[in-house]
Amino acid sequence: MQLLEQLIAGPLRGMEQLEQQIFALRFAQHLPDVERPLRQLYAHLPNYDAWLEKLITLVANAYAARPAELRQRDLRRVHEPDWFQQSDMMGYVCYPDRFAGTLRGVAEKIPYLKELGITYLHLMPLLKPRPGASDGGYAVMDYRQVRDDLGTMDDLAHLAAQLRQEDMSLCIDLVCNHTAKEHAWAQKAQAGDPEYQNYYFMYPNRTMPDQYERTVREIFPEFKSGSFTYYEAFDRWVWTTFNEFQWDLNYANPAVFGEMLDIMLFLANQGVEVLRLDAVAFMWKRLGTDCENQPEAHAILQAFRALSRIAAPGLLLKAEAIVPPPQLVPYLGQGLAANKECEVAYHNVFMVMLWSSLAEQQVALMTHALQQMPAIPSRTSWLAYVRCHDDIGWAVTEENAAAVGLNGYLHRSFLSDFYSGRFPGTYARGATFQFNPRTNDRRISGSCASLAGLEVAMEQQDWAAMDLAVRRIVLLHSLILAFGGLPLLYMGDEIGLLNDDSYLQDPNLAGDNRWLHRPMMDWELAEKRHDGLSVNGRIFQSLRRLITARKQTPALHAEAAARPVWTHNIHVFGLLRESPHGRLLILGNFSDHAQTVPFYRLAELGFDGPMRNKAADETIPAWADLQIEPYGYLWLEKE
């Protein structure tokens, strides 16, 4: 308790007694969760106790600096801890410049977001990147400044406040695995300062890099080979998992942990409510392993969470770990850390399965793969999405493929062929991203609409094909909206924006075809959103109707159990959701033909008798086989 007294006499001195008491309560509540992971990481270091005291003082400083309005919002969140799990949550993801020019421009677009029913806005990287190529802003040189052309940190805080007024939460990226080589820490390291060299992984020769490279995966094999870069100027090999200009941070050094925590709380105090923690799987290196998903990477996240809960308990941590299913679930917390790691994580497996089912027109792999995934802790949620700014990597395991009679390798090849447009007769138009000749792995770039067939159909002026493409787009969204996590709509998908190859004109972007699906918002096209006869209007209105339906269906709360079920029709995906608010059977037909789910199967699942389709607000005739139109979907609830 000595430390607490010191804090009250120190950083918390000017605060009202009640505010000090709140801090003391949180401190007591979270201290065990702070100490468990931090001991695991750093207890062996000399001066561990003194370092921990400094760290907690940093947290107390952040609490004292937290604006009153945000502290009040924290209280609201603490009293309503499931706020992000509720069915009225709806996310939107965009690049601020591509969506609206600047941060002020984004504020002007709030009415558009409201029209869609958005309550959560993820603005893609906006902290000051290195000049020139910056991996879409994922190479940050200053975490406390906003990218010049977007505005200032004050603009960001102001935008967050405007969003709060409209009950929307702001999410931004925190690139915590690496910095740009232009970051001040990296600059000092380059100048030879040993203190800052220890912020990164730097080696005088190839001995260690060679050993590590025996087991680590190459993430961007087309950009550069290997995970290390040699710099002649200071004669060192530096760990660079992604691009040459992105230097991996060394979290074995507690100073790095402290710096990142400080940045986190600084951003939270600007009004950021969700931090998307980038590339968290890579945050700890261990010789002889793939250096991904190490127990220490989880400990870092758990410590971040417990410490931020003391200063800013309204803050959510979102894990970006695009890893296979068994490694993915633990980011939401396991064992003692259940509900105590990240609150939300991208469900990349579900996303991949949606596209896999669409290509195959069958749902066996998706049903099986999702059945294999363990349930997640009650106070966490998946992020369900159809597309994002990144490529699609075919996270299909050999075991899951084999279980449904597929060969994993061949199936992944088929999917790459199908979506890159090579497969005979495919409707999809995408591009191959990062072909790895050693493994034959090929990932896919392309916008939702182009991958779903809209681009080819429009080019050919084929109305029937356009109709099918629209149905595919809406089907995929109907499933992310009903999955039971927080759904994310990716900018432009609501009006069916196609691939955009204008990035080829910009030398800083031309080498990375992920820009194909990072278009500028087409506001002229968006004008058509109310014209239900246009393709764009049809997509927009269908999605808006589904979003409204979702908000009116409390049984879609993320906490409810969701179980993929066999529908006795190989083309129809089924998801059974059981919640205190009721039971739902979500159905999606992945075939371009009408399909039937037999009545006896519906009855077995408890869906006989009169039912309501919440997705279209219609009554379903009871006691009969259920006909589902091509790419049709239903959210069934018993009347």
Q: What are phi and psi of 61, to 5 degrees?
A: -60, -45
Annotated catalytic residue 278: yes
Q: Which two tokens stand for residue 622?
A: 């009871």
Rounded-to-integer distance, Cα 263 and Cα 261, Å: 5
**Choices 134-142, 199-207, 425-433, 446-454; region in contact with ligand GLC by CB under 6 A:** 134-142
- What is the Cα gyration radius of the chain? 25
Chain residue at closest Cβ approach to ligand GLC: 138
Do 572 and 589 meet the contact criterion of CB atoms below 8 Å apart? Answer: yes
CB nearer ligand GLC, residue 142 or residue 390: 390
CB nearer ligand GLC, residue 135 or residue 218: 135
Ranges within 560-599 binding ligand GLC (CB under 6 A)? none
Q: Among 23, 242, 346, 490, which residue interacts with ligand GLC (rule: CB under 6 A)? A: 242
DSSP per-residue codes, 488-539: EEETTGGGT----GGGGG-TTTTT-GGGGG-PPP-HHHHGGGG-TTSHHHHH
The least distance separating ligand GLC from the CB of residue 50, rounded to whole angstroms, comes to 33
Reported as half-sphere exposure (CB side, CA atoms, 13 A), residue 197 has a value of 13
Q: What length does the chain have?
A: 639
At 266, which amino acid appears?
F
CB nearer ligand GLC, residue 296 or residue 390: 390
**Choices 135-143, 161-169, 536-544, 612-620; region in contact with ligand GLC by CB under 6 A:** 135-143
Q: Assess 135 for contact with ligand GLC (CB under 6 A).
A: yes
Annotated catalytic residue 399: no
Ranges within 249-308 binding ligand GLC (CB under 6 A)? 278-279
CB nearer ligand GLC, residue 499 or residue 553: 499
Rounded-to-integer distance, Cα 198 and Cα 180, Å: 16
Ranges within 167-226 binding ligand GLC (CB under 6 A)? 175
- Of 218, 320, 494, 500, which one is the catalytic site residue? 320
The least distance separating ligand GLC from the CB of residue 242, rounded to whole angstroms, comes to 4
CA-nearest of 521, 575, 532 to 384 is: 575
Ranges within 317-346 binding ligand GLC (CB under 6 A)? 320
Q: Among 91, 136, 446, 519, which residue interacts with ligand GLC (rule: CB under 6 A)? A: 136
CA-nearest of 343, 278, 271, 280 to 306 is: 343
CB nearer ligand GLC, residue 135 or residue 182: 135
Distances (CA, A) of 290 to 188, 319, 346, 399: 29, 19, 21, 20
Residues ≥6 apart with Cβ < 8 Å to 211 = 287
The least distance separating ligand GLC from the CB of residue 124, rounded to whole angstroms, comes to 9
CB nearer ligand GLC, residue 135 or residue 273: 135
- Of 278, 360, 441, 493, which one is the catalytic site residue? 278
**Choices 133-141, 284-292, 395-403, 622-630; region in contact with ligand GLC by CB under 6 A:** 133-141
Q: Assess 248 for contact with ligand GLC (CB under 6 A).
A: no
Q: Among 92, 95, 138, 304, which residue interacts with ligand GLC (rule: CB under 6 A)? A: 138
DSSP per-residue codes, 575-628: EEEEETTEEEEEEEE-SSS-EEE-HHHHHHTT--SSEEETTTTEEE-SSSPEEE
Q: What are phi and psi of 445, to 5 degrees?
A: -110, 160
Residues ≥6 apart with Cβ < 8 Å to 358 = 452, 472, 476, 590
Q: Among 166, 390, 467, 522, which residue interacts with ligand GLC (rule: CB under 6 A)? A: 390
Rounded-to-integer distance, Cα 311 and Cα 23, Å: 8
The least distance separating ligand GLC from the CB of residue 445, rounded to whole angstroms, comes to 11
Q: Read off the DSSP letter of residue 290.
A: -
Rounded-to-integer distance, Cα 476 and Cα 329, Å: 22
Q: Coil, strand or helix: which one is 205?
A: coil
Q: Assess 12 for contact with ligand GLC (CB under 6 A).
A: no
**Choices 55-63, 131-139, 538-546, 551-559; region in contact with ligand GLC by CB under 6 A:** 131-139
**Choices 130-138, 437-445, 480-488, 587-595; region in contact with ligand GLC by CB under 6 A:** 130-138
Q: Assess 393 for contact with ligand GLC (CB under 6 A).
A: no
CB nearer ligand GLC, residue 140 or residue 620: 140
Q: Assess 351 for contact with ligand GLC (CB under 6 A).
A: no
The least distance separating ligand GLC from the CB of residue 68, rounded to whole angstroms, comes to 34
CB nearer ligand GLC, residue 220 or residue 418: 220
Q: Assess 515 for contact with ligand GLC (CB under 6 A).
A: no
Cα-Cα-Cα-Cα dihedral sign, residues 397, 421, 438, 220: negative
Rounded-to-integer distance, Cα 252 and Cα 198, Å: 9
Cα-Cα-Cα-Cα dihedral sign, residues 117, 120, 124, 126: positive
Number of residues that bind ligand GLC (CB under 6 A): 10
CB nearer ligand GLC, residue 62 or residue 277: 277
CA angle 346/348/349 to nearest 5° reads 130
The least distance separating ligand GLC from the CB of residue 279, rounded to whole angstroms, comes to 4
Q: Would you please indicate which residues are annotated as catalytic (active-site) residues?
A: 278, 320
Query: Which positions lie near ligand GLC, rule CB under 6 A?
Result: 135-136, 138, 175, 242, 278-279, 320, 389-390
